[in-house]
Amino acid sequence: MAGPPPKPWPTGKVERLEPLVRRILAPNAGPYTYTGTETYLVGDDDRIAVIDPGPDDPRHIAALTEAIGDAQVAAIMCTHTHRDHSPASRPLAAATGAPIVGCAPLVLDDSGPRADASFDRHYAPDRVLEDGEAMTGPGWTLTAVATPGHTSNHLCFALEQSGALFTGDHVMGWSTSVVVPPDGDMGAYMASLDRLYARAGEGGDRVYYPAHGPQIDNPRQLVRGMIGHRRQRENQILRILREGPHAAADFVPRMYKGLDPRLTGAAEMSVTAHLLDLERRGMVARTGDIWSVS
């Protein structure tokens, strides 16, 4: 997890990335959001879709409504319901009359304070897109690609006309995705990486636009690297466990050198996500908080 690049960042400015795609950066930089959430506007200037409207911050909503101008908003689309992604859907829907379309609302087993801190519990879509279902407008089609793992309801959106894939928090160039159990699931995340790797083959996804950080021009190479990175983490965990039983927190200083101390909790969650996946596969066992090889 790298620190953000030096300022200035294009917060609140409209950047055109290709004929059908514009991007606006929200003012919510942080250790989990890099320079902030990137909201995408898709379509020509008449009838557009908004992807990942972002946090409910009046400055960002003002920048979005100004960029939208007189265009009709066909859909406000959310990749998942973390609080840096979906809360602006409500004020934006109120301002534009557009429906909220995309990922399903989450039903959380864990309703503790941590869940409240990161999940948008008020997200209320007008229409949920299942895997393979699409929203269309003049000259654009956005197809949902189910990619659970970072959250259980995560979707990517494929822009069929250009080969762009809006990857939300599933695949980003600046950092690996944070997988926090119980809603985050490492086995599902790995399967979703495999799915994107297969899609990015010959004639497949050409470019990724993640919700944080720069666009990714070499999707297949990046996803292959991420799959390798996760396997490496898994092997590290197994190696440490072969020396003796450990609690999840014990792994962090050995596996994450030079980690931003604010991310220690996230790193421990990520280790736990790997351990739970290994447990499901019968490779490790747990007694209380202590893990061992089985």
Instruction: Give least dist CB 211 to Zn ion, A.
Output: 7
In the bound state with Zn ion, the residue whose beta carbon lies nearer, of 169 and 268, is: 169
Nearest one of 115, 46, 116, 104 to 78, comparing CA atoms:
104
Instruction: Give least dist CB 155 to Zn ion, A.
Output: 12
Instruction: Give least dist CB 186 to Zn ion, A.
Output: 15
Instruction: Give least dist CB 87 to Zn ion, A.
Output: 12
Interacting residues with Zn ion between 39 and 58 (CB under 5 A): none
Helix or strand or coil: residue 38? strand
Q: What is the DSSP string of 202-258?
A: TTS--EEEESSS--BS-HHHHHHHHHHHHHHHHHHHHHHHHT--EEHHHHHHHH-TT
Of 57, 84, 183, 185, which is the active-site residue? Answer: 84
In the bound state with Zn ion, the residue whose beta carbon lies nearer, of 23 and 246, is: 23
Distance from C-alpha of 277 to C-alpha of 12, rounded to nearest angstrom: 40
**Before 8, cis peptide (omega within 30)?**
yes
Instruction: Give least dist CB 120 to Zn ion, A.
Output: 10
Active site residue 84: yes
Interacting residues with Zn ion between 67 and 126 (CB under 5 A): 82
Task: List Cβ<8 Å contacts ≥24 apart for 94-100.
Answer: 95/61, 95/65, 96/65, 96/68, 96/72, 97/73, 98/50, 98/72, 98/73, 98/74, 99/75, 99/126, 99/127, 100/75, 100/76, 100/124, 100/125, 100/126, 100/127
95 within 8 A of 131, measured Cβ to Cβ: no
In the bound state with Zn ion, the residue whose beta carbon lies nearer, of 20 and 100, is: 100
Check residue 183 for interaction with Zn ion (CB under 5 A): no
How many chain residues bind Zn ion (CB under 5 A)?
2
Per-residue contact track with Zn ion, 150 to 169, x per CB under 5 A?
Answer: -------------------x
In the bound state with Zn ion, the residue whose beta carbon lies nearer, of 56 and 279, is: 56
In the bound state with Zn ion, the residue whose beta carbon lies nearer, of 43 and 184, is: 184
Interface residues with Zn ion (CB under 5 A) are 82, 169
| Catalytically annotated residues | 84
